[in-house]
Amino acid sequence: MYPFQHLNIYNSLISPYLTYGLVAWGQAAKSHIKKILILQKRVLRLMNFASFNSHAVPYFISSNILPVNMLYFKLASLLMLDVYHNVTHSNLSDLFTSTYKVHNYNTRSSAAGSYYVDHSQIDHLKTSFSRMGPRIWNSIPEYLRKLPKHIFKKKITAILFEILRVQDTCVDIQDIIDNISKQKEK
């Protein structure tokens, strides 16, 4: 089999199971996400006829496949883009409050189109999409937020692959947010 056939198998048999509802379950306990990531790495090694203990990041990059954590970030940012452009159902968009509605005066955050991050003491709520969505969105540079969806999707994917290349490991969501926020400050 040629490598592109392996990608077709991955994209038709594995990717749908990973992406279906990922925004809802993508912030599950780290132990559960780690099991899925291990299986994802195993599949990539099998696709590339690599040994079971070889480093998986080069296979993610060469196959143009994102690890499950980065896939969650990408899908969550795309959903937040839809919320920003007000093309989602009101039940979803009502979960988020723009910062310009929170303050009585202009702030950099409100001018940038950021969302208010509601803080919580409960760990379960801290990782819910209603809390993570605004954190992910606010970490994305303002110039990217204004792009059309197809270009936004390509740019976010490119940024995530760059983080994967630099970090050379599968990072968690907070590390992704921190990396993108650092790029935003430059």
State the pLDDT at residue 160: 96
Q: Are 100 and 112 in contact (CB under 8 A)?
A: no
Per DSSP, 169 falls in state: S
Q: Which amino acid is residue 69, in one-letter code?
A: N
Beta bridge partners of 115: 98
Which distant-in-sequence residues (6+ apart) come within 8 Å of 22 by Cβ?
Answer: 68, 71, 72, 75
Q: How many domains does the chain have?
A: 1
State the pLDDT at residue 102: 63
Question: For the chain, what is the total number of helices (H) and then of strands (E)?
Answer: 14, 0
Q: Are 52 and 45 in contact (CB under 8 A)?
A: yes
Query: Which domain covers residue 106, as residue numbers?
Result: 3-185
Q: Are 65 and 41 in contact (CB under 8 A)?
A: no
Which distant-in-sequence residues (6+ apart) come within 8 Å of 150 by Cβ?
Answer: none
State the pLDDT at residue 1: 46
State the pLDDT at residue 45: 92
Residues of the chain with pLDDT under 50: 1
Burial of 158 (0-12, 13-18, 19+ CB in 10 A): exposed
Distance of CA 81 to the CA centre of its chain: 12
DSSP string, 8-47: HHIIIIIHHHHHTTHHHHTTS-HHHHHHHHHHHHHHHHHH
